[in-house]
Every structure is written in structure tokens, then in C-alpha cells.
Chains A and B, each alone.
Chain A
Amino acid sequence: MNKFLLPLGAFIALIALLAVGLGLNPREVPSPLVGKPAPAFNVPLLSNPDKNFSPKDMQGKVWLFNVWASWCVSCREEHPILVEYSKTAGAIPVVGLNYKDKRDDGLRWLARFGDPYLLSAFDGDGRVGINYGVYGVPETYLIDKAGVIRFKQIGPITPEVLEKKILPLVKELNT
């Protein structure tokens, strides 16, 4: 073999790598929590500071855990989709986590855009968010009957994500 072809070979490998790289999104960080039990917490509800919510309350159910905030712009994009989904027959419960928000702002936001949530937990200082590895709101976790996270959507849920990824998985988990 011609050893002078080595640089060309190495370069072709590099180009192939870069071509694959173009199709990837470096900003999207997969969650290590998928496949692990949802971290426990116990925080008050958005609507009622005297009542608390803990993921244990949802044991035995398949549910969605949606992190949202009134200051979050892309949440507005996502919200109508959640509102609509919550109205469909057989929809699984959606629990909200009002993340780093002010109570009044959060409640006003729900009054204005609709409330798809079974309830919203209130995470004013963002500690729950850190426990769930939240870095870009909105984020949504699909949690199974045993309390294990099965899927995480970073960024808004689009109709496509809902149809193609979340709903088939829900079906599978419910059987």
C-alpha cells in the first residue's frame, strides 16, 4: 500500500465524522434519569400552599410530569397542545411543575391559557428542577406505574412528538 495515502484516508474519516455531526444537535443533552426512578420530592401545590404533592401520590399510574413557567416563551407554544390532549378520552394525567415562578403569575397564566393539569406543584426556588436535571423549560417526563422515568422531552412537546413518541409509549406502559 502507498503510505502516502494515509493522510487522505484519515481526512476522509474526519469528513465522514463531520458530516454525521452536522445532523446532531450539540445543545440537546439526553437525561441520565431515563430508566431511573423519578427523584422524590414533596412541595406545596400552586393553587394551595397548604397542600403538598409528592410523586408517590401517582404510584400505580402512568403520568406526564410537565415543567412550565409563566416567563417561558416556548411554553406558550406547547400549552394548547397539552390543553387539547387533556380533553381527549383516555388521556393520562398531566402533573405540572411551576418552575421558578411567582404564584400569582403562574395562576394568572393558567387562568388565561387554560389548565390542562391534574394539579401543578410549585417549585419557586427551582430545587425540584435541579433534582430532575431541568435546564431548559419546558421539559416533560413520562413516568410509569412503578415511578420510573421512561421518556423525557426537552423543549416544547409538538403534535408530532405527542403522536409518534409519547402516545405509543403510554399505550405500551398501560397494557
Chain B
Amino acid sequence: MIPELGHFALILAFFVTLVQGVLPLLGAQRNRAEWVAVARPATAAAFLLVAFSFACLTWVFYTNDFTVQYAAAHSNTQMPTMYRVSAVWGGHEGSLLLWVLMLTGWAMTVALFSRQLPEVMVARVLAVLGLVAVGLLAFVLLTSNPFDRMLPGAEEGRSLNPLLQDPGLVYHPPLLYMGYVGMSVVFAFAIAALLAGQLDAAWARWSRPWTTVAWVFLTLGIALGSWWAYYELGWGGWWFWDPVENASFMPWLVATALIHSLAVTEKRGSFKNWTVLLAIAAFSLSLLGTFLVRSGVLTSVHAFATDPRRGIFILMLLAIVVGGSLFLFALRAPKVSLGGRFELVSRETFLLINNVLLVVACGAVLLGTLYPLIVDAFGLGKISVGPPYFNAVFVPIMLPLLVLVAIGPVARWKQADLKTILFKLWPAAVAAVIAGVALPMLAGAWHAYVAIALALVGWMVAALVLQTIERMKAGTPTASWWGMQLAHFGLAAFVVGVAMVGTYQEERDVRMEPGDTVSVGGYNFKFNGVHLADGPNYRASVGSFDLVKDGKLERILHPEKRDYQSSSMPMTEAAIDASLTRDVYVSLGEPLTPDRENGAWAVRVYFKPFVDWIWGGCFLMALGGLIAAGDRRYRLRVKASAPVTAGALA
């Protein structure tokens, strides 16, 4: 009964979003206030219906109702409750429902927190979100219904892939989807503004906090996914350039560009067309990512079980949503004004270069991700494009960005002076040289790669300090200024992590018997043997290692090898001793003798200097975004008198 209720709620939600998508738009077009007024209640109803449906699916998993096909394929009674509940989004159907839940949730949030915006604008935004929801709900109902019954039901479910039975599953997909789907709000604001012909500074100001918040979620989602891969996959990598990672990274790059160009559009009224195009692109890339993951056109470690019908459906959805918006853009863009004048050397120009670099980087990732498909489509064979390619092309494009990140905030709007900038930043240049020469020496060995990276870090951090001192003299900075500084500092921290772990990490693969020792990065590991332990749905071989530094026992580490009942592949759970300046990482490989408890094991130990700065840097970027989004000027009511109509259409 519960699954049918859930299914029914979804069908209702489909019709409600249809109303939400159509009536307010017509109302806005024809000045019918009562149609416009439908937007908020319809949005609320759609959200409640989808939330109810999602609760029904969660109940199905919680109660182990294996007459529901999707639950039988992704859960079983042995799994701990936490994973049974998060298994709801462990497969295609449920994760898509989560997508829709977040879409309606974002719409609901817009409905709640937009009292200060003109009613007609809000109605348009909600309607665009409604139309996107119509498409996705149709997709769920027609091709991917999570409530499909299987009669008679299965006695026991097939269980979730053990790789996913990890706290990572609880937080990573929801955060990532919040980011992905949050781009729909940005998109809806852009489309609403295009429809109304009101592409102006006010639009930019309304879009900014939403863009920033969605970007914060996306940043956290990607970073936590990377961290999950790092500790779960057992070989200590943190980014693999897998098509699915790229699918989440591309919207991030464009959203980052968008945040910067929105700043110009809001403050100076320039680049409106470009900004609106980025807003469309950010969401389009989110949808493209969904297509790539779920259609099976690319092989990826994360891919869902595929079904060609689904691929065709999402492709059609993509064609309609994105094609329609780009067509609208082509119609409206020629009429949009250019905005205020600025000189060649000005903050505007620097932000445009930032945008070019980020978008080109995104283009490079897109090209590499799709290239195997292009070659195959032209019948030229099969190739792979992997990490060596991406590292080779991505890094050189990003380096100039790290130089600019120090200059942009120093440059004045409208007209800046190179000499003044240079005068302000010369101490940073000195800091860069010192950091590039001295720090690698201190770390142990001088390599060009790490020297360049650390010089850039020195440059960025010194510039940040200089700017902060100067800005403080001029009065208390705004929250959004502090947010920017923190995010840029996060970027510097991220670079430190990437460069240090890339250059100075140490790794040893050894055969260990109880009593054996191995040392890496100045740390000594003593293997005390393995004991067997039972988990809820697995049997674990738990290793015990004394971690010794300078003769002092620091900690005992317990890496595990788990054999899940449902899977023949043993899972590796690495044990990590994390600290600010380094991780030491130990993982159990295969038992080399039949006696697991007292025999020999293959053991892999890593010393990873500064690796946590990678995720710490991302966290700081996200925190910076959050602070910026909380700036009080976004919460001010737009004065009723402020004209938001034809002013922008010059």
C-alpha cells in the first residue's frame, strides 16, 4: 500500500508541477495576477507531494519491503539501518527521486525566501523550476519508477554494493545533488529574466546568493566525494578524472566563473549576456552530467546500470531544456545593453580573463571526457583519455589563474593602473620567490613542479595579507569581501596540498608478518597481527599496527579487510592517522598465507604530506562562499519604486 501511495503522490506531483510551470508564465505574460499567485502554493504542493513520495520510498527500505523491485535490488535485511536508509539513493531510480526532491525543495526555498522580490519575477522563476520538474518527473514515472512491484516479492534483497556501504553514501550524494540541482535555481533566474527582458543589475543581485549557495554545496559535495575515494578505495588517490567526476567538476568550473561574472554584472551592469550564458551553461552541464552517468555512453567506475530508453529520454530532456534556453538567449541577447564603460586595465578585464580561463578549463575537461565518444562516433576506433591527459592540459590553463587571483582584487573597477598594482604587490612577488626557493628545500628536495606551485602560493597568500591590511584601513569590510578572501585563501591551501602530496608522498608495498616493521616518512609501523571480527553483514580481518615516531608510540592503527556476505570482492578499509601536516595511511592487501591471524599479509603504507589541505582548502572555499552569501545586502527588500523593467533594454 505504501509504495502505491508514493507512486500516486508522484503522479499528482507531475500534474501540480505542470500547473506550476504553465499558469504563472501565462499570468505574467497577460497580467493576470490570480494566475501569477498560483506559483507559490503550487510550488509548496509539489514539494510536499515529492517529499511524501520520498518518505514512502524510505519506509519501503526501512521495513525491508522486497516486493518493491528497487529495494530488493539495493538493500537487504543484514545491512545496518543507516545504510538501509541511505540505500534509497544507492541506485538509479532512488537517486533520481532524490534529484527531484531537491529540485522541488530548492523551488520551495525560493518561494519562501523571495518576499523581497517582485511577485511576477518570483512567479516566472518558480514556473521555470516547475517546467524542469515536469520533465524529470515524467522521466521518473515513465522510465525509472522506484515503486515498481515484483510479485511474488523476494525473500531477501540483493544488498548494496559494499563500496557504497560507508558513511560517504550518507552525505556525499545529497550534498552533490544539492549543488547540481541548485544550479537549476540560477538557471531559472536567468530564464525568467530573459523571458521578461529584464536582464539587469537587479537580476544579478538576486541571482548571486543562490548561485553562491549552490556552488557551496557543489564544492562540498565534490570535496567529500574525493575524500571518500581517498580513504575507501585503498590506494590513496584523491582525484581520478573519471567521467563521472568530470561531470561534477564541469558545472563547478562554470559556476565558479559565474560567481565572478555576476559580481561584475551586479556592480557594474556589464557582461550581462555572458553572465546569463554562464548561468544557462552551469545547469546544462549538470543535466549533461546526469545524462553521462545514467545513459551508459561512457564507461566509468560510478556508472549506474543502464537502459537505452533512459538515455534517449534524458537526451530529449536535455535537448528541450537547453536547446530552448539557448534559443531564447539568441533571441534576447542582441537587445541587451553593454553596461558601464571600463578601461583595458581594470578589475572588469581581470575578471573576464578569469572567466576565459575557467571556461577554457571546463572546455578542456569536456573535450577529454567526450573525445573517446567522438572518435568512436566517426568510426575511428576506441581510445581512452585518462589522468595523464587531463593533468597535462588542465594544470597549464590553471596556473595563470593563480597569478591573477592576487591581482584582480587589487585592481580598481573601471580603470586601474598597472604601476599602482605592481607597487602594491611587489612584496608579494618577493614572497613568491622566497616561497618557491626556500620551502621546497625545507621540505626535503627541490623540484620545479613544487617550486612553481609554492611560489604561486606565496604570491597569493602575501597578496591576500596586503589586501586585507589595506582594506581594513578603509573601514570595516563587508561579509562578502571576507568571504572572497577566505575562498581565495582556501584555493591557496588547496594548491599546497596538491603540490606537496604530489611531490613528497612516500609509498611502500611490503610483505609483513607479525612483529615486522616498516618505515615511511620518518614513521615506523610495527605489525602486531590480525584478528577476525564480525560486522553486521561482513567478516573483517582487522590488522593492528603500532605507529611509532622517534621511538614513541603515537597510535595503534586498525586497517581492515572485509568480506561481505553479498559480494565476492573483499573491501579494503584503510586506517589513517590524519594531522594538519601529514596523513599516514596503512591498508591491508591480500593475505599471503592461509593463516590470516598469524600469517603474512601484503601491506601498503603511505606517507602523505599536507594531503588534508586539499579538502581543507575546499572547505575554506565553501565557507567563504557561505559567508559571502550571507551578506546582508542580499536580504534587503527591493524598493517598490525601483524600476526593473525597460531600463536595461537600451
Residues of A within 8 A of B (CB): 2, 4-5, 7-8, 11-12, 14-15, 17-22, 24, 26-30
B198 at interface, CB cutoff 8 A: no
B277 at interface, CB cutoff 8 A: yes
Partner of B315, one of A22, A24, A28, A29: A22
Instruction: Evaluate contact between B326 and A8: CB separation under 8 angstroms.
Output: yes
Residues of A within 8 A of B281 (CB): 7
Partner of B377, one of A8, A11, A12, A24: A24
Residues 371-410 (chain B) with a chain A CB within 8 angstroms: 372-374, 376-377, 381-382
Residues of B within 8 A of A14 (CB): 288, 370
The CA of A18 and the CA of B326, in the complex, are separated in Å by 18
Partner of B322, one of A11, A17, A19, A24: A11
**Interchain residue pairs A-B with the least CB separation, the first 3:** A8-B326, A21-B297, A4-B333
How many whole Å from A139's CB to the nearest CB in chain B? 16
Partner of B318, one of A4, A5, A15: A15
How many whole Å from A132's CB to the nearest CB in chain B? 17
Instruction: Evaluate contact between B291 and A18: CB separation under 8 angstroms.
Output: yes
Residues of A within 8 A of B330 (CB): 2, 4-5, 7-8
How many whole Å from B522's CB to the nearest CB in chain A? 41
Answer whether A17 and B308 are a contact pair too, CB < 8 Å, given A11-B322, A24-B376: no
Answer whether A26 and B296 are a contact pair too, CB < 8 Å, given A2-B334, A15-B315, A15-B318: yes
B443 at interface, CB cutoff 8 A: no
Instruction: Evaluate contact between A8 and B374: CB separation under 8 angstroms.
Output: no
Residues of B within 8 A of A22 (CB): 295, 297, 308, 311-312, 315
Instruction: Evaluate contact between B319 and A26: CB separation under 8 angstroms.
Output: no
The CA of A21 and the CA of B299, in the complex, are separated in Å by 12
- Counting chain B CB atoms within 10 Å of each CB, the highest count among A7, A12, A15, A17 belongs to A7
The CA of A18 and the CA of B247, in the complex, are separated in Å by 14
Residues of A within 8 A of B327 (CB): 8
How many whole Å from A25's CB to the nearest CB in chain B? 9
Residues of B within 8 A of A (CB): 273, 277, 280-281, 284, 288, 291, 295-299, 308, 311-312, 315, 318-319, 322-323, 326-327, 329-330, 333-334, 370, 372-374, 376-377, 381-382
Instruction: Evaluate contact between B377 and A21: CB separation under 8 angstroms.
Output: yes
Residues of B within 8 A of A4 (CB): 273, 329-330, 333-334
The CA of A27 and the CA of B372, in the complex, are separated in Å by 12
Instruction: Evaluate contact between B381 and A12: CB separation under 8 angstroms.
Output: no
How many whole Å from B294's CB to the nearest CB in chain A? 11
How many whole Å from B381's CB to the nearest CB in chain A? 6
Residues of B within 8 A of A7 (CB): 277, 280-281, 326, 329-330
Instruction: Evaluate contact between A20 and B323: CB separation under 8 angstroms.
Output: no
The CA of A22 and the CA of B312, in the complex, are separated in Å by 8
How many whole Å from A161's CB to the nearest CB in chain B? 19
Partner of A11, one of B299, B326, B333: B326
Instruction: Evaluate contact between B377 and A26: CB separation under 8 angstroms.
Output: no
Answer whether A24 and B373 are a contact pair too, CB < 8 Å, given A15-B315, A18-B315: yes
How many whole Å from B318's CB to the nearest CB in chain A? 7
Residues of A within 8 A of B312 (CB): 22
- Counting chain A CB atoms within 10 Å of each CB, the highest count among B295, B308, B319 belongs to B319
How many whole Å from B289's CB to the nearest CB in chain A? 12
- Counting chain B CB atoms within 10 Å of each CB, the highest count among A5, A17, A26 belongs to A26
Instruction: Evaluate contact between A26 and B329: CB separation under 8 angstroms.
Output: no
The CA of A18 and the CA of B295, in the complex, are separated in Å by 10
How many whole Å from A23's CB to the nearest CB in chain B? 8
Instruction: Evaluate contact between B372 and A26: CB separation under 8 angstroms.
Output: yes
- Counting chain B CB atoms within 10 Å of each CB, the highest count among A8, A18, A24, A27 belongs to A18
The CA of A17 and the CA of B372, in the complex, are separated in Å by 11
Partner of A20, one of B291, B319, B377, B381: B377
How many whole Å from A35's CB to the nearest CB in chain B? 13
Instruction: Evaluate contact between A17 and B377: CB separation under 8 angstroms.
Output: yes
Answer whether A18 and B297 are a contact pair too, CB < 8 Å, given A24-B376, A26-B372: yes
The CA of A20 and the CA of B370, in the complex, are separated in Å by 12
| A7: nearest chain-B partner, CB-CB | B326
How many whole Å from A73's CB to the nearest CB in chain B? 14
Instruction: Evaluate contact between B323 and A26: CB separation under 8 angstroms.
Output: no
Answer whether A30 and B329 are a contact pair too, CB < 8 Å, given A15-B315, A22-B308: no
Residues of B within 8 A of A28 (CB): 382
The CA of A18 and the CA of B319, in the complex, are separated in Å by 11
Partner of B323, one of A15, A18, A29: A15
Residues of A within 8 A of B319 (CB): 15
The CA of A20 and the CA of B295, in the complex, are separated in Å by 12
Other A-B pairs beyond A2-B330, A19-B315, A20-B377, 14, CB < 8 Å: A4-B329, A7-B329, A8-B327, A8-B330, A11-B323, A15-B315, A21-B297, A21-B373, A24-B373, A24-B377, A26-B372, A26-B376, A28-B382, A30-B382
Instruction: Evaluate contact between A26 and B315: CB separation under 8 angstroms.
Output: no
How many whole Å from A33's CB to the nearest CB in chain B? 13
- Counting chain B CB atoms within 10 Å of each CB, the highest count among A11, A19, A27 belongs to A11
| B374: nearest chain-A partner, CB-CB | A17
Residues of B within 8 A of A20 (CB): 377
Instruction: Evaluate contact between B373 and A27: CB separation under 8 angstroms.
Output: no
Residues of B within 8 A of A15 (CB): 315, 318-319, 323
Answer whether A8 and B323 are a contact pair too, CB < 8 Å, given A17-B374, A18-B291: yes
The CA of A43 and the CA of B333, in the complex, are separated in Å by 71
| A10: nearest chain-B partner, CB-CB | B326
The CA of A29 and the CA of B281, in the complex, are separated in Å by 33
How many whole Å from B360's CB to the nearest CB in chain A? 14
The CA of A24 and the CA of B315, in the complex, are separated in Å by 15
A–B Cβ pairs within 8 angstroms, 10 of them: A8-B326, A11-B284, A11-B323, A14-B370, A18-B315, A22-B295, A22-B311, A24-B377, A26-B376, A29-B382
How many whole Å from B90's CB to the nearest CB in chain A? 23
Residues of B within 8 A of A19 (CB): 315
The CA of A33 and the CA of B472, in the complex, are separated in Å by 69
How many whole Å from B628's CB to the nearest CB in chain A? 28
The CA of A24 and the CA of B322, in the complex, are separated in Å by 24
The CA of A19 and the CA of B308, in the complex, are separated in Å by 11
The CA of A12 and the CA of B295, in the complex, are separated in Å by 18
The CA of A8 and the CA of B315, in the complex, are separated in Å by 15
How many whole Å from B584's CB to the nearest CB in chain A? 37
The CA of A14 and the CA of B285, in the complex, are separated in Å by 12
The CA of A15 and the CA of B318, in the complex, are separated in Å by 8
| A5: nearest chain-B partner, CB-CB | B330
